[in-house]
Chain A
Amino acid sequence: MSRAGGGNDIQWCFSQVKGAVDDDVAEADIISTVEFNHSGELLATGDKGGRVVIFQQEQENKTQSHSRGEYNVYSTFQSHEPEFDYLKSLEIEEKINKIRWLPQKNAAQFLLSTNDKTIKLWKISERDKRPEGYNLKEEDGRYRDPTTVTTLRVPVFRPMDLMVEASPRRIFANAHTYHINSISINSDYETYLSADDLRINLWHLEITDRSFNIVDIKPANMEELTEVITAAEFHPNSCSTFVYSSSKGTIRLCDMRASALCDRHSKLFEEPEDPSNRSFFSEIISSISDVKFSHSGRYMMTRDYLSVKIWDLNMENRPVETYQVLGENHFECCWNGSDSIVMTGSYNNFFRMFDRNSKRDITLEASRENNKPRTVLKPRKVCASGKRKKDEISVDSLDFNKKILHTAWHPKENIIAVATTNNLYIFQDKMN
């Protein structure tokens, strides 16, 4: 992928960066989730301060055929506020853990956003006209004396500056004792699931006062707890199928038709541990941080501490592909639109892509140093300590505080959004 020209190699270029320039990061600005909508026209980010910022891609400029539209701020709103649970003396963080878009059905856009405890359905709608010509009020808004009104005047809509409004349409609360880590919309577009450390609930988008519990792994005796749920997702095509990953490195595929409570999995995906690799950290490093179905639904990808694995849903006993990468408990991963490339974040503001066909991989860096548009990103190389060549970075010098936890790939094009702590970088492939 790092070679110029030829074949399927992509050359990634810097496109934009959003966020504060200075190194002093306000905690509220830390980006906690990134998600493209189904068309790729909108890009949503959530942050630790409970805000959602939506960017919209400009329509393509016919004269500038070598670059795609830029993403500019479309709407900003406060999705969640900090809350205090008085009964348990607990503060509930407003940090947005996940955003998921609904497919567009009418002029408005809908998305689900969640913090640790509450999921909200937001409607984002545009207003570009307003009614004018009332004769019932004065200029300043005071109502005129009705006796002075002698004609009937129907107001007409006149164009106005575009205003984008976000309003909460549903609030799904009080269904999770533990912290919500995932939400996933079903392919029926009517239901969705929400998962916390020990339970998964099924909701209907129209109904907020009830949800069905479909997975419960809480043991009767909490002292026996050895495993938690780390991520869950619905299958992209099969509306009765979903998967959830655990801290023990297993993925369970469940079919909701089998029983109301999906405690017994239909398939269990687990790679047997190589006993020669056993270390103190075996327990910790097998934990899966993210699971994502491919767009086709044939494969799924999991991210654990040291690797990205691709699983064929038809084979449970081992992954079909494994890619080595350094990571930790909360790195996400994503597929490109054609399921041929997978991407995940790493330390030092590096992110990595693996081409499943060519088996080549590339490491790139999100940094303001390459901030000229259409500058091709230079591939980075991490080497073992002591063997550093020119331009390489030794594993000792990695900054473990600069993490790219959240990445997203445009559903159709080669445009990616990569979030460092408080900046959002947008890269696209070089079009020529």
Chain B
Amino acid sequence: MGEEEGLHQTQLLDTMFVRGLKRKCFDGEEDIEGTLAGIKAVPSYNLQRQSLLDMSLVKLQLCHMLVEPNLCRSVLIANTVRQIQEEMTQDGTWQMINAQNTGQASLDRLVSTDILCRSSGDQAEGKHVPAYGTFNKDFESDQAQDGSETMSTASSVQAPRNLQSNMWEEMENPQENKGNFQKSLDQIFETLENKSPNSVEDLFSEVDNSYYDLDTMLTGMMTNTKMGHCDSLETFSSPTNTASNSNCKSDLNDLDHIVEILVES
């Protein structure tokens, strides 16, 4: 493909990326000018990448929560996550992430991702709306509680003890951040693996949940994925920590919009 054509492609994607925001804002609350003013130019590369990474992780987890995941979609999102991971490893972004104290900011990001989950969940799988509903409800109520309480009350039989303690360790030792991303990915995979006594293959093939009551399974998964999520978000705060929550939220909505268009089945 010629250079000119390639440029056209990138411009097209950038246009979709930035302008997609307009459409989302139009549906509701805020004044377009106000919102656009809050986003001065195309968001920084790192922020874009960060947001896409977080969102892809969430989508991946959501994919795997489905009883019958869309294989193509899972693979495409997982590959994107891997690609970003490699890039971040190469340009040394990993080291930068260490020192940041995320605290409140990460919770805010949890909020915006929660909204993200709800919107993509409703769009994607009509059959599974009840599952997403439950997911969001617990998600929100869990945030209000102390982390430790959530861990113990929601710890269902499914969550292996060692996995939980691993997660705890990571939350308390933010210095141990190198390779955390890969660990988070592995934890997600492990979680699903341990849920079913069968092989890792269940990650991508039909989930064999014949051993579990559907509700229990969802609770178990929500706990683990939430913890996994919390963990991964805490270890990666964006280096360019944006001032307002709405920027975060709208950027994520942007990306959500793009990725949904691209992988939507």
CB-based nearest A residue for B208: A88
B interface residues, Cβ below 8 angstroms from A: 1, 3, 5-6, 8-13, 15-16, 19, 22-23, 48-49, 52, 67-68, 70-73, 75-80, 82-84, 126-127, 189, 199-210, 214, 258-259, 261-265
Interchain CB contact under 8 A, A223 and B76: no
Interchain CB contact under 8 A, B262 and A329: yes
Q: Within the complex, which residue of A177, A277, A280, A384 is in contact with B1, where a contact is CB–CB below 8 Å?
A: A277
Interchain CB contact under 8 A, B71 and A178: yes
| A396 to B15 CA separation, bound complex (whole angstroms) | 8
Chief secondary structure at chain A's binding surface? loop
**Which interface residue of A89, A247, A283 has the most chain B CB atoms within 10 A?**
A283
Within 8 Å CB of B10, what residues of A? Answer: 277, 279
| A51 to B107 CA separation, bound complex (whole angstroms) | 48
Interchain CB contact under 8 A, A276 and B13: no
Asked if A395 meets B12 with Cβ closer than 8 Å, knowing A223-B189, A226-B79, A283-B80, the reply is: yes
Q: Within the complex, which residue of B22, B79, B189, B199 is in contact with A396, where a contact is CB–CB below 8 Å?
A: B22
| A178 to B206 CA separation, bound complex (whole angstroms) | 8
Tell me, yes or no, whether A322 is within 8 Å of chain B by CB: yes
Interchain CB contact under 8 A, A330 and B200: no
Within 8 Å CB of B9, what residues of A? Answer: 277, 285, 306, 324
Interchain CB contact under 8 A, B15 and A385: yes
CB distance from B4 to the nearest CB of A (A): 10
Tell me, yes or no, whether A143 is within 8 Å of chain B by CB: no
Which 5 residue pairs are nearest across A and B when measured between Cβ atoms?
A277-B6, A222-B201, A197-B71, A283-B79, A284-B262
Interchain CB contact under 8 A, A400 and B210: no
CB-based nearest B residue for A181: B72
Interchain CB contact under 8 A, B80 and A280: yes
Tell me, yes or no, whether A230 is within 8 Å of chain B by CB: yes
Asked if A322 meets B203 with Cβ closer than 8 Å, knowing A90-B68, A226-B75, A274-B6, the reply is: no
Within 8 Å CB of B84, what residues of A? Answer: 280
CB-based nearest A residue for B70: A179
Asked if A396 meets B19 with Cβ closer than 8 Å, knowing A178-B205, A247-B76, A384-B11, the reply is: yes
Interchain CB contact under 8 A, B48 and A280: yes
* 0 or 1 for each of A76-95: is its CB under 8 Å from B? (1 = yes): 00000000010111110000
| A330 to B265 CA separation, bound complex (whole angstroms) | 7
Within 8 Å CB of B265, what residues of A? Answer: 329-330
Asked if A225 meets B1 with Cβ closer than 8 Å, knowing A90-B68, A280-B49, A329-B263, the reply is: no
| A198 to B204 CA separation, bound complex (whole angstroms) | 11
Within 8 Å CB of A365, what residues of B? Answer: none
Tell me, yes or no, whether A326 is within 8 Å of chain B by CB: yes
Within 8 Å CB of B200, what residues of A? Answer: 221-223
CB distance from A49 to the nearest CB of B (A): 14
